[in-house]
Each structure stands twice: as structure tokens, then as C-alpha cells.
A and B are shown apart, each in its own frame.
Chain A
Amino acid sequence: MNAAILREAAQWLVRLDHQADAASQQAFHAWLAADPQHPLAIARLQGHLSPLKQAPARAALRRARQPKAIKGLALSLLIGLLALPAYQYSQRGYLFADLSTASGQWQQQRLADGSTLQLDGGSAVDLDFDANQRRVRLLHGELLVDVAKDAQRPFYVDTPQGSIRALGTRFIVERSGEATVVRMLESSTRIDSATQQLTLNPGQRVRLDAQGPGNVEKFDARAHEAAWNTHQLLANDEPLADVLERLGRHRSGLLLFDRQALQGLRVTVMLPFDDPARALRLLQRTLPIEVSSYTPWVTRVSLKNSANNSQ
């Protein structure tokens, strides 16, 4: 199509977007009638913006661009329709992270220093390496780190709840809600969390939250690593909510649940990450929970009514 006509069409759309009074509209209709190419040009340009009519598409585009493009601009104008439902929603800033995986995907990355990062599904990290230190910021999800020895450059994994320092070692760090869980597979690390320090040894795990580290607990490092490698979710007497959260990272839809309502439930299970739907069915079979789907994207896990009348 003729570039001049497209430009005229664009000018009309912008003009009418500003001022659609009777006189402008009349002139516009005259222009449309003047050449069969004119209405085509208008339709073509309108098509380029058509999804922006929907709030979710606008929000998606904005969010996909967020870290760089519109920092500091008014982001709150469009919240109207999106007034947050009662469920917890984590801001997925990781869409623009250095390395990231979509749900249900694993990624292994060998870094320049010889260290290896394995990202679980739905996970993201930012890397910051320089001459003095190696830093990995875990933005979301779960990470298995195999640190190459470098006495000159300590290796850190940072989360909002703490910093895990290693020289040469192997461990798993997981972001889980407002907490971080560290599981030591080999050697040891030093952890700084909320002004407290501790050393974690192989076969030990600890949960860090805003208050600092919780109790150091034992876990089966070998079984856990095997499960990791075969994409299984292994939980040994862990809160159901934690298990659901991990499972949620492996589904492309949203898994809703009320952490408080499920508080008392703990599970010991091995579930297939590769087939989250089946994993949910398995949980449903053994626990007093109800799994309901609203659309292909929204699944809700709640306590069975007999156990709790409120949803």
C-alpha cells in the first residue's frame, strides 16, 4: 500500500482520537469515500492496535516491558478492572531476567567460571560477575548451583531473605513465598540472613524468612538430588502449601490456594513435575482437598467442605 495513504490514515486516526466532533467526522467520511484504498488503510492501522482494547493485553504488554521502558511513569491508572482478587499474586519481574525458564522447562547453564546453574521450571536469575565476586540473584523459583572453586572470587546466591556464600560446593536454593529454602548437597556454605549467620552442612536444610534463619533440619540429600534430576517433586513431611507453590511453577495456568486454610496439612510425596495435572490428582486422592478448574488457566485448591465450610 501507498505510504502516503498510510500516513494520511494515521493522521486521521490520531486527529479523531483527539477530537471527534461533527466537522472532523464529516471530513473523515469524505476522505474515506474518496478512494477505496482509504478505508483499507484505516482498517489495517486499526488492526495493529486492536488487542490494546482489552485491559489484560495492555497490562501484559506493559508488564513485559516494565523493567526498562516505563519505570517511574504512572502505572496505577489502569488498575480499575484489575483490582486484585484476594489471592496472592507475585509480581513476575523475572520476565526480563538474564536467564529464565517458562513453567515446565528446565535449563542448565554452564557459566564462564565453570560453575553450573540448573534452573527449575518457572525460575529466573540475574547474574552479576566481576573480578572480585560472583553473584547470582534468584528472582523466582528454584536453582541448583554447582560452584566451581575460585578462592579469589566468592560465589553468592542472593534472595531478599539472605545471602548464601560458597567457595566450591553444590546446593539448592528455592524462593518460596516470602521465604527462601536452602538445601545443602555437598560441602558447606555460610548464610547471612537478617543479621544472623550460620553454616549449613550437607544433608541440612534451612528456611530463611524476614526474621532470619529458622531451625536447621535434616533431609535426604541424595534422594532429593535424584528427584531434582528426574524432575520429580519430593516432599518429606512438608507443608502442602509449599508443595502446591512448587507445583504451581510448573504449570502455565494459575494455581490458587489459601495458605492459611491449608496450614495444618503436611505431606510426604513424590510427584511428577512433568505432569502437574496428574500430580494434583494424586494429591486430591490422598488429602482432604478439592481441586476445581474455572477456565483452562485457573485452578483452585481448597479444603473439602466437610473439613471447612468457608471456601
Chain B
Amino acid sequence: MKPAQPAEAATLEALYRGYHGWLLSWLRRRVDCSHHAADVAHDTFIRLLSAGPYVAPREPQAYLATVARRLLMDRNRRRRLERAYQDELERCAQYLEQAPSPEQILQAVQVLETIDRALARMKPRIRETFILRHLDGLDQAQIAERLGVSLRTVQQDLVHALLACDACAQP
């Protein structure tokens, strides 16, 4: 799959011309649908385009693969959440007055994905505090008792978590 001779990648355009085909076949071996592969290849270059000034990579293939791999991971994470969310909606479909529209679902999944990403980066205690408060519905005093920390610590952790979500929401 490697090009016969390494292509130039001095500019983003050259990188695209020289390696888009390689990236596509690299992706095709990792995703089961060629449309997805094309989407991710496209997103990879978009990501590079929006990443600021272009710096020619020394190893274009490894570079592209790294970016693409990260996109694939994001994609899988989103798919997992989407699936879980739809399952949950189904489970309680009979209690919901109105089923959410596809747009609403998409939007909710995007926000959930951001939270999920933020959670993944938090320190364990902060993550646990966030989960106990926002997913399990314990109040702050209960969390302090459960984790054996002061109320002040719980509040600091919740502030920290909220700002972490904000940081993850920024493109």
C-alpha cells in the first residue's frame, strides 16, 4: 500500500495529493464501510487544515495515521454513546410523552460525548464526585459523606469538573 517512492509533503496540498489515497486504504482496513473510511479521511485533512499553520511532518504516514486513529476513537466513542442513548430511550419509550427528534438525539449525544471525554481526563476523585452528583443524583452533603471528604472539597471538585466539561466543549 505504500507509494513507490515517498511523496513530498511540504504543503498541506502536497500532503493531500501524495497521501490521501494511502490514508484511505489504511482506513479501509480498519473500518468496515468504505463510506466511513472516506469520511474519516476527509475529517483527517479538515482537522489538519483547522489545526493552524501547517508544519511538514517528517513521517507523513505515521502523522496521518495518528490523527486518523484519534478520529476513529472519537467516532467509536460517539457510536457507543449513541447506541446506549437510543437503547435507553427505547427502554422508557412508553413513559415518554414524545419521542425526541433525530436532531435532538444528535445534539444530546454530542453533549454527552463532551462530558464523556471530560470525564476520561478528570482525576478519579473529581470524576467520582461528578458521577455521584450528576448521574446518581446524590446531593453534595451525601457525596462528602460517601467519599469521606469535606463539603468544600466536593464543591471545589464540582467546579473543576464543570470547567473541564467547558474545556472539552471548545473545538
Contact = CB atoms under 8 A, between A and B. Distances in A.
A49 interface: yes
Contacts of B127: 69
B155 A85 contact: no
B23 to A, nearest CB: 20
Given A10-B163, A77-B137, A85-B94, A18 B155 contact: yes
A128 B165 CA distance: 35
Interface stretch (B11-19, B58-66, B76-84): B76-84
Say whether chain B's binding surface is mostly helix, strand, loop, or mixed.
helix
Contact of B32 (A55, A85, A95, A107): A107
B88 interface: yes
Contacts of A60: 81, 84-85, 87-88, 112
B86 A297 contact: yes
Contact of B86 (A6, A18, A51, A252): A252
B134 interface: yes
Interface in B77-109: 77, 79-81, 83-95, 99, 107-108
B33 to A, nearest CB: 7
Q: What bracket does the count of chain A residues touching chain B fall in?
A: 35 or more
Contacts of B140: 14, 17-18
A89 B84 CA distance: 13
A96 B80 contact: yes
B163 A57 contact: no
Contacts of A252: 83, 86
Nearest to B101: A296
Contacts of B112: 51, 57, 60-61, 64
Say whether chain A's binding surface is mostly helix, strand, loop, or mixed.
helix
B94 to A, nearest CB: 6
B166 interface: yes
B158 interface: yes
A65 B119 contact: yes
12 contacts: A6-B163, A11-B155, A11-B159, A47-B111, A59-B91, A62-B136, A63-B84, A82-B91, A82-B92, A85-B94, A254-B90, A297-B93
5 shortest A-B CB distances, which residue pairs? A56-B88, A60-B85, A60-B84, A254-B90, A51-B108
